[in-house]
Amino acid sequence: MHAYFSGTVQGVGFRFTAEHIANNLGLTGWVKNLRDGRVELVAEGDEAMLKRFLEKLHNEMGRYIRDADVRWRGASGEFSAFDIAFDRWRE
**Domains of the chain by residue range:** 2-72
Alpha-carbon distance of 5 to 23, in angstroms, equals 19
For the segment 13-42, what is each residue's pLDDT rounded down to a tens digit?
999 999 999 999 999 999 999 999 999 999
Going by DSSP bridges, is the β-strand pair 39-44/65-71 parallel, antiparallel, or unpaired? Answer: unpaired
Alpha-carbon distance of 78 to 84, in angstroms, equals 15
CATH of region 2-72? 3.30.70.100
Give the pLDDT score at 74.
85
Give the pLDDT score at 91.
43
What are the two backbone dihedrals, phi and then psi, of residue 59, each rounded to the nearest 5 degrees? Answer: -65, -40
Alpha-carbon distance of 42 to 1, in angstroms, equals 6
Decide if 59 is catalytic: no
As a whole number, the mean pLDDT across the chain is: 93
Options 23, 24, 33, 90, the catalytic residue: 33
pTM beyond 0.95: no
Alpha-carbon distance of 40 to 38, in angstroms, equals 7
CA 62 vs CA 47, 69, 90: distances in Å: 21, 14, 24
Options 15, 38, 59, 63, the catalytic residue: 15
Give the pLDDT score at 54.
98
pLDDT > 70 fraction of the chain, expressed in percent and rounded: 95
Decide if 33 is catalytic: yes
SS3 62: helix
